Amino acid sequence: MITSVEQLVDITNATRPMFEEGGAAMTFNDVSHELFNSVFEKAEETGGTMMEWDVVLGDTGNAQMTGLYGEDKKNVKNITSKGFAKWAHATTNTSWDIREPALNSGTKEKLYDVLQNRINNMYREFAELLQPKLLLTPQSAADEINPHGLSAWLPLGTAGQDGGFNAYQPLYNDGVFSTDYAPGNIACSASVNHRWASWFADHQGNLGDRLIHLIDNGIISTHFKPTRIPKSVDKDTDWGNLRFYTNKKIILNLTQLARKQDDNLGPKFEKYLNTYTYMGAPFMYVEELDEDNDGNVPQLYGYDPLFAVNWDWLKCKCLTGFKFKLGEAYKNTSLGHTVMTLPLDTTFCLYSPNRQRLGFLISRHPNI
């Protein structure tokens, strides 16, 4: 029986590592948070006041075909730029009052289960907070709360395009959607750092053959490889980092198209239930991309968007010590002398060293 907040604090802190491991595992195995899982499950930790990385945006021009005694070119040219991005911070907590009946009934094992369930729910709420943010951009240059999500690195390009590296700079998620900014603090346009542009195509609302054609075009143009490739023609590499993130409408349209083209459907109808893959890569349902979802922001990524992401080129780093850090429980006197609070924090950044390889965006441009 719990007789004091101090007793509950001691028990919670003594078993905190087990709570932390269980909560994270539960969250990363939740299929309703696939984008969240892709970003954070393998995120590494690093230090610094902000995220910084190297980007190669040019060539020295020294490569040449030459005769046996030909003279080498000796151009000296700085082709490396620095990318910068601010950390994004998120926090949550859960609290208990020692007068709660659930804390004072049963064995120590029962008490542990009560604590674990509450902590698991805190992790789940954290995932539900962060997943929509992972699609969006900051509200302004001064924004230190919201991350540079998928639409920062794979923004809208030119309306009506059949596909190309025409997506230069994303828009701030400021409600007006008229101010663009340089992702990674690297300016990009058709004439400046054009190799920093990402690939975009406008499906113009055609979610059948045109969409399939654009997906093929994007895969070829960004040099994706299938997730399964014979080892006789390729090195032993895991290409399982390719994922498609989209809404229910696109997945249902593609599944219907696949069923119609399958002459051998017969009794194997179950192979099309709730799943669609292309070149061995799965399509992951992200409900925030549904048109009727409150979190949908088509001004940033268009209508019925399809994000193709190669996680070898889109990275997530967490600040050292703050990858879903489950803090120490403490007596929360601001809520009363019988209340204990347990905090959970994370500090992270999404970034890319090569926007022409990280993937592509296909959607119906909002300006059409």
Give the model's pLDDT for residue 108: 73
Which residue, 355, 316, 349, 352, is CA-closest to 50?
A: 349
% of the chain with per-residue pLDDT over 90: 49
Q: What is the mean pLDDT of residues 325-354?
A: 92
CATH of the domain at 291: 3.90.1690
- Burial grade of 241 (CB within 10 A; 0-12, 13-18, 19 or more): middle
Give the model's pLDDT for residue 281: 82
Residue 274 has pLDDT above 70, yes or no: no
The answer to which of 46-60, 132-146, 154-168, 292-306 has the lowest mean pLDDT is 46-60
Distance between CA atoms of 162 and 132, rounded to whole angstroms?
28
Strands 330-331 and 80-85: unpaired
pTM for the full model? 0.85
Pair of tokens at residue 71: 């003279």
Residue 62 covered by a domain: no
Structural domain that includes position 127: 5-48+81-364
The structural domain count of the chain equals: 1
Residue 239 covered by a domain: yes
55: which strand partners? 81
Which residue, 314, 341, 24, 320, is CA-closest to 147?
A: 314
**Residue 32 binned pLDDT confidence (cut-offs 50, 70, 90):** confident
The answer to which of 24-33, 187-196, 329-338 has the lowest mean pLDDT is 24-33
Which residue, 214, 286, 204, is CA-closest to 245?
A: 286
Residue 154 covered by a domain: yes
Mean pLDDT of the chain: 84
Distance between CA atoms of 179 and 169, rounded to whole angstroms?
10
Q: Quick: pLDDT tens for 66-102.
A: 766 767 666 555 557 789 999 999 999 999 888 887 6
Give the model's pLDDT for residue 289: 95
Q: Quick: pLDDT tens for 209-222.
A: 899 999 999 999 99
Which conformational region is residue 304 in: left (phi greater than 0), alpha (psi within -120 to 50 degrees), or beta? left
Q: What is the mean pLDDT of residues 267-272?
A: 48
Residue 74 covered by a domain: no
Give the model's pLDDT for residue 109: 74
Residue 215 covered by a domain: yes
Residue 76 covered by a domain: no
Residue 56 covered by a domain: no
Q: What is the mean pLDDT of residues 229-234?
A: 48
Give the model's pLDDT for residue 26: 58
Residue 196 covered by a domain: yes
Residue 312 has pLDDT above 80, yes or no: yes
